[in-house]
Amino acid sequence: MNNFSSYKRNDIFDTLKKEKLDLLVIGGGITGAGISLDAVTRGLKTGLVEMQDFAAGTSSRSTKLVHGGLRYLKQFEIKIVAEVGQERAIVYENGPHVTTPEWMMLPFHKGGTFGPFTTNIGLRVYDFLAKVKKTERRKMFSVEEALRKEPLVKDQGLKGAGYYVEYKTDDARLTIEVMKKAVEKGVPAINYAKVVELLYNETHKVVGVVVEDQITGEKHKVYAKKIINAGGPWVDDLREMDGSKKGKALHLTKGVHLVISQEAFPLKQAIYFDTPDGRMVFAIPRENKTYVGTTDTTYKGDIAHPQMTEKDRDYLLKAINYMFPSVNLGPNDVESSWAGLRPLIAEEGKGDNPSEISRKDEIFVSDSGLISMAGGKLTGYRKMAEQAVNTVVKQLKEEEGILYMESNTEHLPISGGDTGGSKGFERFKEQKVGEGIRLGLDKETSLKLIQKYGSNVDTVFNIYQNCLEEAKKENIEPDVLAMLSYAIEHELVYKPVDFFIRRTGALFFDINWVHQHKETVINYMEKVLKWSKQQKEDYTKELDQLLYEAVHPIKE
């Protein structure tokens, strides 16, 4: 791994300052990660800075689906459906360890948004536009078949169901694997590095930035021929800093998801259903939980810290109890939750209804040359990156006569994805489970590690083998220590929340595991990363706060 270790933060800053960068990417979510990978593989010297942790914004707070945007058919956004639908399979083949096909059932009830006829046509069009492979084409169910698939679905007024494939993903890990691939290809990338100032030349063209290390407070100047602002919900903050925010602007909407144990909500089958107010909601089984989302409300609060309100929670509980009347869930059944922001692009004069605003992505180029990319979806990250880098490449050709190649990420496995595509991954899993068991791991833990790290699992197994003594001494479970050491050495983890949210997803999907290992993980990180006493206090407080908020909504 090319210098992506938490011990080497200073080296990464030094590289960013010394390199004559062609492109600096601001923002380490899926958009920024995708752009940096696309650019470096075309031969551009590329660097990346992120003010929080990688994927800390929208890219770890989505519905965790690489989905084809069936809902866009309703808005006749045919081009989005075709492009995004086809991208799903590419994202899957390049990282089968972080993305898996998931059959989704769309029940239709009397008086609902979807009926058997329109759904059948819609799904058929979808199969065609998205070039869905034969084995994954839609099916139509009778009432009996639908209830057999998922007995919890409301039977009153049920008229049948559509059945089609979506792709489930771990959004934060997808982002981090794309980022690691970019780093492997030579991109110096650093988290907790905030752009506090833009630097201009005498003709007022942007030529660099001042970056403040959020850990030490040190400031660094980084220069680049081109700068892309991929700040997600923060895109407009940088456009304001540049004095170029005019015309279209971001419209932030908030989406909340609830996590419930399978004991309280034993959903067997992923369901996409419409609510009494005509919105669509997903209910998805994952590990031994069921998660449900999402809400879609205009957001005006602290961008770095969106929270679930009682209203959000009650809206989703009501939706669950409406579609699955026998589960009868209440607030105490919510084990965890998350809230994320969608940076949508609002057009002046258009309405304010969040579900009507387009999810399209757009590129803005300001007079100073700052390139901003806004909008878009997780699924389309690779195409968005291609578009953004095309803009840069075109400019460099016009200004300097330099020719760069076309985007070549379509068949490029991301980090952990070197398993021979989705077919190879099944064989890879079988082989590696045996290796894990021989090392003394149980089958379930081995599978979990293989699914999380893909072809990087060898490194994790290796760390596991070598850390048994240390684990005993540190009073930390060896598999936890292996994951933690890997995260520090290869995934630039610096704070406990980085590990418990973005690198493992545990705060959302296994909150008890976080409570169980919190103390030993924090003690170990303090020791190896040489935190000050104050840092330890701050980072512990931050984690405790998020653990509390995951369960306790705020009153409005």
**pLDDT tens by residue, 488-546:** 999 999 999 999 999 999 999 999 999 999 999 999 999 999 999 999 999 999 999 99
- What whole-number distance in Å separates Cα of residue 535 and Cα of residue 104? 44
Q: Which mean pLDDT values do the consecutive 10-residue runs of the chain (556 residues) have?
A: 81 95 97 98 98 95 80 68 83 95 93 82 84 89 97 96 92 97 98 98 98 97 98 94 89 95 97 89 95 93 94 96 97 97 78 59 93 88 95 97 96 97 95 96 96 98 96 96 98 98 97 97 97 97 97 90
**Quick one: which of 191, 247, 252, 201 has its CA closest to 227?**
201
381: left (phi over 0), alpha (psi -120 to 50) or beta: alpha
User: Taking the model in full, what pTM does it have?
Assistant: 0.95
> Contact, 193 vs 125, CB < 8 A?
no
- pLDDT for 503 equals 97
Which domains does the chain carry?
6-58+172-248+357-400 (3.50.50.60), 95-168+252-347 (3.30.9.10), 421-551 (1.10.8.870)
Q: Is the separation of the CB atoms in 127 and 301 below 8 Å? A: no
The model's pLDDT over 439-466, given as tens digits with 9 standing for 90+, comes to 999 999 999 999 999 999 999 999 999 9
- pLDDT at site 515: 97
Name residues whose C-beta falls within 8 Å of residue 215's C-beta, 6 or more positions apart in sequence: 9, 192, 494
**Proportion of the chain above pLDDT 90, given as a percent:** 80
The Cα-based distances of 21 to 25, 239, 403, 499 in angstroms read 10, 21, 16, 30
- Model pLDDT, residue 69: 64
Buried b vs exposed e over 124-136: b needs ≥16 C-beta within 10 Å? ebbbebbebeeeb
d(CA 60, CA 160): 34
Predicted pLDDT of residue 397: 97
pLDDT at 81: 76
Looking at residue 76, what is its pLDDT? 64
